[in-house]
Amino acid sequence: MALRFELPDRLALFPLPGAVLMPRSRMPLHIFEPRYLQMLEDTLKTDHRLIGMIQPDSDGLAAIGCAGRVVAFSETGDGRMMISLGAVSRFRLQDVTEGFAPYLQGQVDWSSFARDRGGPEHDAGLDRDALFALLSRYMETQDLSTDWDAAAKAEDELLINSLSMMLPFSAGDKQALLESPSLSDRRELLVGLIEFALHGGENEERMQ
């Protein structure tokens, strides 16, 4: 996928715990804090229109985030903004820079994630029947629901990345999913996390 803009060395950062943007996915965001409204205004003036989604961690910010391009936005009646980010590429955060802006900005390196800017990944090892059976058990224990017809029709990457973004894992687990080198690695970790959650739930039931 050839980009129509150059990837910047400096990027506006939006730290949000528990929220990760996966390659070639989309994320809706509700912007209301004044500093992030300013961030959006400044971002829309650039050619790239990129915002770096990144999770806070104990040392400040995670080492790896994912940049999304503002592909849609609308203003609510009270001045808040609804936006949609389309993932462009993961990045490695090199340094947080200080400036006149009220929001964080970072020096970033894109070189490790050239694959993100290519076409969709496929997962030859994906067993959908086994995944859906496991997922059904997990969602029942979590009192969650999904559109199974849409899930069955989804391409490998959309399915795995959407589940990685949406399921209620810890911030650390979501970061590990984001940092997975390939789609098959992410799927293996996703399955492991679901199995671990089910195993823990079964243990809790036996202890009652």
Which structure tokens are listed for 143?
């009192």
Q: Tell me which of 14-18, 78-82, 111-115, 180-184 is least confident.
A: 78-82
pLDDT bin (cut points 50, 70, 90) of residue 68 is very high
b or e along 12-41 (b: 16 or more beta carbons within 10 Å of the residue's beta carbon)? bbbbbeeebbbbbbbbebebeeeebbebbe
Per-domain residue ranges of the chain: 10-117, 128-207
What is the model's pTM?
0.90
Can you tell me the distance from the alpha carbon of 69 to that of 34, in angstroms, rounded to the nearest whole number? 20
pLDDT at site 203? 41
> Is residue 171 predicted with pLDDT exceeding 60?
yes
pLDDT bin (cut points 50, 70, 90) of residue 202 is very low
Say if residues 121 and 85 touch (Cβ distance below 8 Å): no
Can you tell me the distance from the alpha carbon of 164 to that of 140, in angstroms, rounded to the nearest whole number? 17
CATH architecture label of 10-117: Roll (2.30)
Which structure tokens are listed for 196?
């671990």
CB neighbours of 193 closer than 8 A, spacing ≥ 6? 167, 169, 173, 177
H-only helix segments in 116-155: 128-142, 148-153
pLDDT tens across 84-128, in order? 999 999 999 999 987 788 999 999 999 999 999 988 999 999 999
pLDDT at site 207? 34
Can you tell me the distance from the alpha carbon of 156 to that of 89, in angstroms, rounded to the nearest whole number? 18
Can you tell me the distance from the alpha carbon of 49 to that of 35, in angstroms, rounded to the nearest whole number? 17
